[in-house]
Chain A
Amino acid sequence: MNALFAVLFYLATLLFVVGLLQRIRTYAVTPAPLKIPTTPAPTTSGGVVLRMAREVVFFESLFKANLWIWSMGWLFHASMALVLVRHLRYFTEPVWGWVVFLQPFGIYAGIAMLFGLCGLWARRLFVERIRYISTPSDHLMLLLLIGIAVSGLLMQFAAHTDVVAVKSFFLGWMQFSIQPLPADTLLVLHLAAVAALLAIFPFSKLLHAPGVFFSPSRNQTDNPREKRHLSAWAAKLESEK
């Protein structure tokens, strides 16, 4: 059981890291031959950094598009970020100061995250257009995250697990030494779901997280007249004649 989980997490982490790096590499080396920022766009690279930050931190475009998706989606992501920060306590000893500082704010983040996820799922189930575009995997992805959140919350508020043991398991795991893991059903469910999430990340729509940084319509500067932009394969067309 202990060894099984340790190995499961090694495999899932490996898939996650290698898969994601490989994907990011593909995005990075694929050329963008034409200037296609959605205008009005920033004319300087500093401006692009700001535009990108607004997209990633506030979901600016989504805000303009639809308040329901924006509020539920932003709530989900922001609280998930807090939850993940809180989780750093299982992997660091001593726990970093800023993580300790954020702990109290994170206590209710799990509930907010669940609420956001349910709002998003409700939309998928009940709004005709969104139901039309949903594939089974879209529903399952939300269910998986809801499963993680519910099992986590139950551990926090109902059936506590031995978090000290969990911590020593993962501290040991990081040094390739296998420590005992509490055999609580909720914990097993929580961890199995997390392993699944890690493993599918590089093969699914979760690629939106790295993808957003590589989207030419958002990350290009609007300066085509001022500077000649030429990709390698397009330049070859010129040397041919």
Chain B
Amino acid sequence: MADITAPAYRIIPIIPVLKPGAMEGKGPFVASDKINEAIGFPGQLVDDWHDRAIAKMAELLSKYRSLKVYMDACVHCGACSDKCHYFIGTQDPKNMPVARQDLMRSVYRRYFTLPGKLFPKLVGARDLTREVLDEWYNYFNQCSECRRCSVFCPYGIDTAEVTMAAREILDSVGYGQKYSNEIIGKVHKIGNNLGLPAPALLDTLEGLEEDVKEDTGIDVRFPIDVKGAEVLLITPSADFFAEPHIDSLIGYAKVFHASGTSWTLSSMASEAGNFGMFIGNYDQLRKIALRIREAALELGVKRIVVGECGHAWRVAYSFWNTLSGVGEGADETDRFAMMLQKQLDHRYRQPTHICEFTWDLIERNALTFDKSANDKHIITFHDSCNVARGSRMGDLPGGQFEIPRNIIRAVANNFVEMAPNTTREQTFCCGGGGGLLTDDLLDLRVKGALPRMEVLQNAVDEHGVNFMATICAICKAQFTKVMPIYGFDRKMVGGVHQLVSNAIQLSAK
């Protein structure tokens, strides 16, 4: 791993020349029998993988309109071809979104369309051979499901959907990816992705209370499993002990303290992340989401608030209502959803992002800040892909861009933007999303970070930026790891609520 170096910045951001095969065989570790079986997948590649894979594909084509339409509609126009950070960083043509889709589309054409059955060569159709399956494993585990390509496609073809389907097929034949599947096992067994057991969690929270007391002289609480609390906070488990994540957790606690909100964490649902989405498996996605429903019912909370985590917010905002009933607007006859929706307080958005929560308070003048506490920072904001392109905040489209920026401006004096074609819905992925945040993919992660690092460098050179705020646990972990390789200080990255924490004024309540 010592030989991993950062690719050179492009002088002008031209589209790179192709280097076929550059990332061949550079996929992640394959999951072991134990890991796969723990979550209900075959332990190893099954003997009849070919037939099972085709059958699974047929099933997914009949269950997901997205996959069906996306397989047919692509005209190979190439609009998406230069939009993927992994293509830009690796130059491997199979990391172009359309080429990535074509790995599956070629098989789709062969088995599910007339021209592909009759004239495979003509339409680029291929049999599903072992080589093709290996290629799937390799390149569908080099996509962070960031949806940047989908913004530019004239039909909105979302490579993330294709990647999810491919991973689901691979899992169903026993060819799963170690990192994601191991984490899903942990969430079921222990309650969170990091495998932090409840007693350790309690210790950590007590330690945090002491730290904050020492820092501020004020008793800020970090309650857990409190029945009858108003707010249940669901946050990525990295917030409990990883740097810089923990500083944002302190920020949330201070906001709750300052606004006098009664809140609680849950040891059963001590994880906002949901890797079920990354592997495209609806059952896992649903099971992991149901833990939050159970915790909410058991603790009798009125509101559910979600901490800083990109894909978790997409799952919470876009999928929770569907999966577990956390939301509103279910049918009166829908007993499953109504059970929870009757309990929740619909004067508030359900679920609420912690940024929505804080910004509401700021708008009502319920919080006071000393902005100068952040004067040492010249701040920019990195939009996280799942928040930017898979969710919303507030009432207006694009609130997911405005609200975090509004908070930063409310708590700090120096804020600048990065280049406009790399922010908001056109933001570049950090390079570590979608179940790729593992050391066996470090080379890919470093290369995938290239486009973001280039524009950050520009912001540093032009404006002296020394802090990049972001609201995603994966972005934070990825950047602290790869930024030193690009010559930046790892402490440059942090959460929006870390800035809130620096500036908020507490009174002993």
Is A53 in contact with chain B by the CB < 8 A criterion? Answer: no
User: In the complex the two chains form, is B121's CB within 8 Å of A203's CB?
Assistant: no
Selected contact of A64 from candidates B76, B77, B152, B286, CB within 8 Å: B152
Is B367 in contact with chain A by the CB < 8 A criterion? Answer: no
User: In the complex the two chains form, is A218's CB within 8 Å of B78's CB?
Assistant: no
Is A180 in contact with chain B by the CB < 8 A criterion? Answer: no
Selected contact of B122 from candidates A65, A132, A137, A228, CB within 8 Å: A137
User: In the complex the two chains form, is B158's CB within 8 Å of A133's CB?
Assistant: no
A31 to B153, CA, bound (A): 22
Q: Are A66 and B79 CB-contacts (below 8 A) given A39-B425, A133-B98, A217-B150?
A: yes
A34 to B392, CA, bound (A): 15
Selected contact of B155 from candidates A138, A204, A218, CB within 8 Å: A218
B156: chain A residues within 8 A (beta carbon) = 38, 55, 61, 215-218
A133 to B161, CA, bound (A): 20
A188 to B190, CA, bound (A): 73
Q: Are A229 and B322 CB-contacts (below 8 A) given A61-B154, A133-B78, A205-B73?
A: yes
Binary contact track A198-214/B, C-beta < 8 Å → 1, others 0: 00100111011001101
Selected contact of B113 from candidates A133, A135, A203, CB within 8 Å: A203
User: In the complex the two chains form, is A137's CB within 8 Å of B317's CB?
Assistant: no
Is A164 in contact with chain B by the CB < 8 A criterion? Answer: no
A69 to B62, CA, bound (A): 32
Band of interface residues on B: 35 or more
Is A62 in contact with chain B by the CB < 8 A criterion? Answer: yes
Which chain B residues in 377-405 approach chain A with CB under 8 Å? 388-392, 395-398, 400-401
User: In the complex the two chains form, is B96's CB within 8 Å of A133's CB?
Assistant: yes
B113: chain A residues within 8 A (beta carbon) = 203
Selected contact of A27 from candidates B15, B68, B78, B331, CB within 8 Å: B68
Which chain B residues in 322-374 approach chain A with CB under 8 Å? 322, 325, 327-331, 334, 336-337, 349-351
Q: Are A34 and B318 CB-contacts (below 8 A) given A40-B400, A238-B336?
A: yes
Selected contact of B154 from candidates A42, A59, A203, CB within 8 Å: A59
Binary contact track A138-158/B, C-beta < 8 Å → 1, others 0: 101000000000000000000
User: In the complex the two chains form, is A224's CB within 8 Å of B318's CB?
Assistant: yes
A35: chain B residues within 8 A (beta carbon) = 318-319, 322
Is B82 in contact with chain A by the CB < 8 A criterion? Answer: yes
User: In the complex the two chains form, is B82's CB within 8 Å of A234's CB?
Assistant: no
Which chain A residues in 19-44 approach chain B with CB under 8 Å? 23, 26-27, 30-36, 38-43
User: In the complex the two chains form, is A230's CB within 8 Å of B322's CB?
Assistant: yes
Query: How far in angstroms is the closest Cβ of chain B from A174?
Result: 28
Residue of A nearest to B335 (CB): A238
Selected contact of B282 from candidates A64, A137, A211, A234, CB within 8 Å: A234
Binary contact track B87-126/A, C-beta < 8 Å → 1, others 0: 0000001001011001000000000011100000111100
Question: Which of A65, A73, A127 has most chain B Cβ within 10 Å?
Answer: A65
Query: How far in angstroms is the closest Cβ of chain A from B290?
Result: 10
Query: How far in angstroms is the closest Cβ of chain A from B496?
Result: 19
Query: How far in angstroms is the closest Cβ of chain B from A234?
Result: 7
Is B46 in contact with chain A by the CB < 8 A criterion? Answer: no
User: In the complex the two chains form, is A234's CB within 8 Å of B98's CB?
Assistant: no
- Prevailing SS type, chain A contact patch: helix
B68: chain A residues within 8 A (beta carbon) = 26-27, 30
Q: Are A237 and B286 CB-contacts (below 8 A) given A129-B82, A136-B121?
A: yes
Question: Which of A33, A123, A128, A217 has most chain B Cβ within 10 Å?
Answer: A217
Binary contact track A223-236/B, C-beta < 8 Å → 1, others 0: 01111111001100
Q: Are A204 and B115 CB-contacts (below 8 A) given A39-B390, A41-B397?
A: yes
A127: chain B residues within 8 A (beta carbon) = 78
Is B172 in contact with chain A by the CB < 8 A criterion? Answer: no
Query: How far in angstroms is the closest Cβ of chain A from B68?
Result: 5
Q: Are A129 and B317 CB-contacts (below 8 A) given A211-B72, A212-B155, A216-B66?
A: no
User: In the complex the two chains form, is B78's CB within 8 Å of A69's CB?
Assistant: yes
User: In the complex the two chains form, is B400's CB within 8 Å of A39's CB?
Assistant: yes
A217: chain B residues within 8 A (beta carbon) = 66, 147, 150, 156-158, 161
Residue of B nearest to A225 (CB): B327
A218 to B392, CA, bound (A): 15
B77: chain A residues within 8 A (beta carbon) = 62, 69, 73
User: In the complex the two chains form, is A211's CB within 8 Å of B334's CB?
Assistant: no
Selected contact of A132 from candidates B99, B158, B391, CB within 8 Å: B99
Residue of B nearest to A230 (CB): B322
Is B74 in contact with chain A by the CB < 8 A criterion? Answer: yes
Selected contact of A208 from candidates B74, B336, B337, CB within 8 Å: B74
A62 to B157, CA, bound (A): 12
A215: chain B residues within 8 A (beta carbon) = 66, 69-70, 73, 155-157
User: In the complex the two chains form, is B330's CB within 8 Å of A228's CB?
Assistant: yes
User: In the complex the two chains form, is B65's CB within 8 Å of A39's CB?
Assistant: no
Query: How far in angstroms is the closest Cβ of chain B from A66?
Result: 5
Query: How far in angstroms is the closest Cβ of chain B from A143?
Result: 13
Residue of A nearest to B73 (CB): A211
Is A134 in contact with chain B by the CB < 8 A criterion? Answer: yes
User: In the complex the two chains form, is A226's CB within 8 Å of B63's CB?
Assistant: no
A211 to B73, CA, bound (A): 6
A100: chain B residues within 8 A (beta carbon) = none
Is B75 in contact with chain A by the CB < 8 A criterion? Answer: yes
Binary contact track B44-83/A, C-beta < 8 Å → 1, others 0: 0000000000000000011111101110111111111111
B395: chain A residues within 8 A (beta carbon) = 43
A224: chain B residues within 8 A (beta carbon) = 317-319, 321-322, 327
Given A35-B319, A204-B115, A225-B317, 12 other A-B contacts at CB below 8 A? A34-B322, A38-B389, A43-B392, A61-B154, A66-B79, A130-B81, A137-B124, A200-B115, A204-B123, A208-B74, A212-B155, A222-B397
Q: What are the nearest 5 A-B pairs in CB distance?
A: A211-B73, A135-B124, A65-B152, A217-B156, A40-B397
Measured CB to CB, the residues of B under 8 A from A are 15, 17-18, 61-66, 68-70, 72-83, 93, 96, 98-99, 102, 113-115, 121-124, 147, 150-158, 161, 282-283, 286, 317-319, 321-322, 325, 327-331, 334, 336-337, 349-351, 388-392, 395-398, 400-401, 425-426
A sample of 20 cross-chain residue pairs with beta-carbon separation below 8 angstroms, ordered by A number, consists of: A30-B61, A34-B318, A34-B322, A36-B390, A38-B147, A43-B397, A59-B154, A61-B153, A61-B154, A66-B79, A69-B78, A73-B77, A133-B102, A137-B122, A205-B72, A205-B74, A217-B66, A224-B318, A225-B321, A229-B321
